[in-house]
């Protein structure tokens, strides 16, 4: 079997996260509409705008490596988003809905943090300095979104769900 190398692995993983980000772009409006807390709704709307910028950054990374921006089906994000949609359906109108949405959104963020951290490290190993910088910018946004979601969960969503129990 031929050795494919880190460059190929980088490209394949880049296609994976590109697909994931585009899928997330379609899921965020549904989550925003489903959120009961106005702060959570605003957080989903804000992250949708950030995600648009993240997709543009990924397109620039594809340009840097001389490849067309193309995704490949990411089963992981499909499953994570499907779980979020189940929460929307099963807990609609329930005080625990927002807590579930926060948890679902954090699962997405954790996946993205793992992918961007890996891609950034590989870009550095491949001496793709500009790509590493772009990936780091997105990684920082994803970490901030995760922290913001934690605050929303702790300050409102989780308390509301607990009080209703």
Q: pLDDT means per 10 residues in the chain (165 residues)?
A: 78 98 96 93 95 98 97 96 96 91 96 98 96 98 95 78 68
What is the SS3 string spanning 136-148?
HHHHHHHHHHHHH
Concatenated DSSP letters for 29-73? HHHHHH--SHHHHHHHHHHHHHHHHHHHHHHHHHHHTT-------
> Which pLDDT value is given to residue 55?
98
Could you tell me the domains of the chain?
5-157 (1.20.1260.10)
> Which pLDDT value is given to residue 2?
44
Task: Decide if 136 contacts 67 (C-beta within 8 A).
Answer: no
To which residue do tokens 């993205």 refer? 112
C-alpha to C-alpha distances, 3 to 7, 9, 15, 143, nearest whole angstrom: 11, 11, 19, 34
> Which pLDDT value is given to residue 107?
97
> Which pLDDT value is given to residue 3?
52
CA distance 3 to 87: 42
CA distance 128 to 122: 9
> Which pLDDT value is given to residue 156?
72
> Which pLDDT value is given to residue 1?
39
> Which pLDDT value is given to residue 165?
59
């Amino acid at each position: 079997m031929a050795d494919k190398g880190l460059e190929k692995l980088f490209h394949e993983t880049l296609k994976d996260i590109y697909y994931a980000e585009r899928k997330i772009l379609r899921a965020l409006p549904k989550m925003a509409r489903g959120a009961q807390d106005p702060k959570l709704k605003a957080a989903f709307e804000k992250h949708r705008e950030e995600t648009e910028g993240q997709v543009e950054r990924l397109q620039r990374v594809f340009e840097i490596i001389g490849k067309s921006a193309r995704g490949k089906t990411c089963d992981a994000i499909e499953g994570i988003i499907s779980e979020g949609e189940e929460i929307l359906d099963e807990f609609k109108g329930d005080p625990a809905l927002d807590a579930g949405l926060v948890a679902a959104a954090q699962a997405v963020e954790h996946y993205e943090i793992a992918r961007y951290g890996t891609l950034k490290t590989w870009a550095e190993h491949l001496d793709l300095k500009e790509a590493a910088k772009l990936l780091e910018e997105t990684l920082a946004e994803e970490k901030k979104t995760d922290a913001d979601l934690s605050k929303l969960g702790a300050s409102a969503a989780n308390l509301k769900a607990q009080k209703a129990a």
